Each structure stands twice: as structure tokens, then as C-alpha cells.
């Protein structure tokens, strides 16, 4: 029975890693569409690189990487690592900047589409 548990464990582990690897590979090679991921989609400067999107991307990847490292280190303790209380504020702030930029482009910037 222990052998079966080990096999299932490896199956799920390999599946999750292979799926994450496949998605990452397809994102990096362009098979998953990333067109205009970092571009403004509204307003007069539509199509330009958007700093608020770039900062959100950096914050997201940084937070994700840090959390996986924490989880790997804390796995034996039997619980998911708690994130520092400043994190929701940082991620909330980052998302707020992103939404603020989007709202500004929508409601205040000159739109060439109107």
C-alpha cells in the first residue's frame, strides 16, 4: 500500500510540474498568446507600454517566487506558510496602481477611439 501511495504522489507531482513547465514554455515561446500583455488598452496612448502593468508583473512574479520558496522550506511543519501582514498591502497597492492607471486612461486621458 505504501508503494501505491508513493506512486500516486509521484504521479501528481510530475503532473503538476509538467503542467507548470508546459505553460511556462508555451508562454516563453509565444505559443500562449501574450500580445499586448504590457500595453495600454484604453485611452490616447493605447498600445504603448504601460508602467503600471510592468510593476504589477514584477510584484506578482516576485511574490509568487518568494511564496513557493517559503512553502518548500515550511513543508515539514504541516501548514502553508503565512505571508507577512505587509503583503496584502503591497499586492493591494500594486493592483490599485494598475487599476488606477486603467481608470485614468478610461475616464480622463484623451481617447483616440471616441
Partner 1 sequence: MDRAFEILALVTGSVLCLLVGGFGFLILWEIWVGNIDLSKLISEPTGDASMSRFQLLVFTFVIALSLFLVVVATQEVPNIPGTVLTLLGISGSSYLVSKGIQFSDPAGITSARGQDIVVSPGKISVGYGQKQQFTAQVPNKPGAAVKWLVLAGDGTIDQTGLYVAPPPPSPPLPSGTGAHATIQVTTDAFPDAYDLAVVTLV
Query: Would you tell me which residues interact with partner 1 (CB under 8 A)?
Result: 1, 4, 7-9, 11-20, 22-23, 26, 31-42, 46-47, 53, 56-57, 60-61, 63-64, 67-68, 71-72, 74-76, 78-85, 87-88, 91-92, 95, 98-99, 102-103, 106, 111, 113-114
Is the separation of the CB atoms in 70 and 8 below 8 Å?
A: no
Phi-psi region of 107 (alpha: psi -120 to 50; beta: other; left: phi over 0): alpha
Residues 6+ apart with CB under 8 A from 111: 42, 43, 44, 46, 105
Is the separation of the CB atoms in 106 and 42 below 8 Å?
A: yes
Min dist. Cβ of residue 91 to partner 1 (A): 5
Min dist. Cβ of residue 83 to partner 1 (A): 5
Min dist. Cβ of residue 18 to partner 1 (A): 5
Amino acid at each position: 500500500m505504501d508503494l501505491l501511495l508513493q506512486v500516486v504522489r509521484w504521479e501528481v507531482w510530475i503532473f503538476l510540474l509538467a503542467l507548470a513547465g508546459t505553460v511556462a514554455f508555451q508562454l516563453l515561446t509565444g505559443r500562449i498568446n501574450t500580445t499586448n500583455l504590457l500595453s495600454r488598452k484604453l485611452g490616447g496612448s493605447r498600445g504603448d507600454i504601460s508602467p503600471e502593468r510592468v510593476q504589477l508583473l514584477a510584484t506578482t512574479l516576485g511574490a509568487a517566487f518568494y511564496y513557493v520558496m517559503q512553502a518548500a522550506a515550511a513543508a515539514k511543519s504541516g501548514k502553508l506558510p503565512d505571508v507577512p501582514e505587509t503583503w496584502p498591502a503591497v499586492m493591494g497597492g500594486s493592483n490599485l496602481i494598475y487599476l488606477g492607471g486603467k481608470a485614468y486612461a478610461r475616464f480622463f486621458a484623451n481617447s483616440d477611439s471616441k
